Amino acid sequence: MVGAIAILYALDLGADILQVNLISTVESTMSILLLVPFGMLADRFGRKPMLLYPRIAMSLGIIARAFATEPNHLLLAALVGGFAGADFFPVLVTMVTDVAKPGEQREAISTLYLFSGIGMLLGPLIGSLLLTMPQVTLRNLYQIHLIAEVGGITYMAYMVRETRPETEKDVKIDYRSHVTSLLASNSFRGILAMGFLFYFTFAILNTYIPIYGRVNLGLSDAEISSFSFYQNVAITLIRFSFATFLRSASTRLFLILTLASGGISSLVAPLASNYLSVVLIRLASGMAHGSVAILGASLVAAESEASNRGAAQSLYNMSHGVGNITKVVTSSIAETLGLAPVFILGGLTALSSTIPIILRRPPQRAAD
């Protein structure tokens, strides 16, 4: 719900394009710095503590957003939110792969993403409907988010169980070697490169489509907020029974096609001239994102083991964060040349993300 209005909220508080990019960059930078350490801590001390405690810290950022009066307050919220936010889903994926049998990991990951997609679908829809009411403001949605976060933390504290496999207490584990062994793999490095390139483009679409809708097309806040709903419709649809489909399809070929479709979505974005055309672009980009998220996490699961699974998922998500940070270099392009060159750059970058997958040679134990 709040992801759909984040750009609009920053603009209403007086942020310019550089500040809008900095807000997401600060959050991504904090995530990058802490993702791998948090993943290693999840491998060492357990999944649940690293699911719960960072989320409690993240609530401080939600409070700052709910009562922000200027863009600098959003920067502070991003700093605190980045401390914990990116850790959440990698730990969830790790927990799911902990309890799934090796042959069922893709299906288990797909199911997790499906339920995530349902939440992503309902959030923007509810937010858009609320914004059609004159008495509801963007700030009110952040206040609702704060209440929901308290409920979510309470649920995690009492209902979620630890999934990390037990290890012998007298066995010393070198967690640093787990990270270096992952990075020594050419196929794993290819997955990281793919994640960086694709999510650089996805960050461009998420940042500039709302600005394009307001500035270039003159759309209302409710209409712009609904873009996330349609994108998440596509994400949810692609996640529905996704693992069953993959049993009869080539993971590698399907990933290449979806990466390319993400690039095409960005290339055609400057051609959008009305609300419907932007909706179609968001549907296409949503299908690409939904597919890449599951396929990428599945490839990471195949590359890792229980002892380094948390670190592996964190490294993969770190590549997303680096892509999001790199997006800040497009601020000057957008301000001097307009949004069209930025969308074209994003499209070409996503198309180039197919190269590491085309060249990738999976490990012997991983079935494609």
pLDDT above 90 as % of the chain: 15
Residue 83 near residue 57, CB atoms below 8 Å: yes
Average pLDDT over residues 307-315: 74
Tens-digit pLDDT profile for residues 35-63: 667 777 777 778 888 888 888 878 888 88
Reported as a pLDDT band with limits 50, 70 and 90, residue 170 is very low
Q: What residue has token string 């500039």?
A: 208
pLDDT at position 351 is: 93
How many Å apart are CA 70 and CA 9, to the nearest integer?
A: 10
Residue 213 near residue 230, CB atoms below 8 Å: no
Average pLDDT over residues 134-163: 89
How many Å apart are CA 292 and CA 350, to the nearest integer?
A: 11
* Spatial CA neighbour of 365 closest among 285, 315, 318, 301: 301
How many Å apart are CA 194 and CA 108, to the nearest integer?
A: 22
Reported as a pLDDT band with limits 50, 70 and 90, residue 340 is very high
Average pLDDT, the chain: 81
How many Å apart are CA 331 and CA 173, to the nearest integer?
A: 44
Residue spans per domain, the chain: 6-163+174-359
Residue 339 near residue 161, CB atoms below 8 Å: no
pLDDT at position 75 is: 86
pLDDT at position 173 is: 54
pLDDT at position 359 is: 83
Reported as a pLDDT band with limits 50, 70 and 90, residue 169 is very low
Tens-digit pLDDT profile for residues 230-253: 888 887 777 765 655 555 556 778
| pLDDT for 304 beyond 80 | no
pLDDT at position 168 is: 44
| pLDDT for 367 beyond 50 | no
Lowest mean pLDDT among 66-70, 104-108, 193-197, 333-337: 104-108
Q: What residue has token string 């060159």?
A: 341
pLDDT at position 352 is: 92
220: left (phi over 0), alpha (psi -120 to 50) or beta: beta
Highest mean pLDDT among 111-120, 214-223, 303-312: 214-223
pLDDT at position 350 is: 92
pLDDT, greater one: 298 or 144: 144
What are the φ/ψ torsions at residue 203 (nearest 5 degrees)? Answer: -65, -35
How many Å apart are CA 289 and CA 283, to the nearest integer?
A: 10
Tens-digit pLDDT profile for residues 222-233: 888 888 888 888
Residue 267 near residue 340, CB atoms below 8 Å: no
pLDDT at position 47 is: 84
The pTM score is: 0.67
CB proximity list for 6: less than 8 A, separation 6 or greater: 23
How many Å apart are CA 236 and CA 180, to the nearest integer?
A: 35
| pLDDT for 91 beyond 80 | yes
Residue 328 near residue 25, CB atoms below 8 Å: yes
Average pLDDT over residues 198-224: 89
| pLDDT for 166 beyond 70 | no
| pLDDT for 368 beyond 60 | no
CATH class of 6-163+174-359: mainly alpha
| pLDDT for 13 beyond 80 | yes
Q: In a 10 Å sphere around its CB, with 0-12 CB exposed, 13-18 middle and 19+ buried, how is residue 255 labelled?
A: buried
Residue 278 near residue 215, CB atoms below 8 Å: no
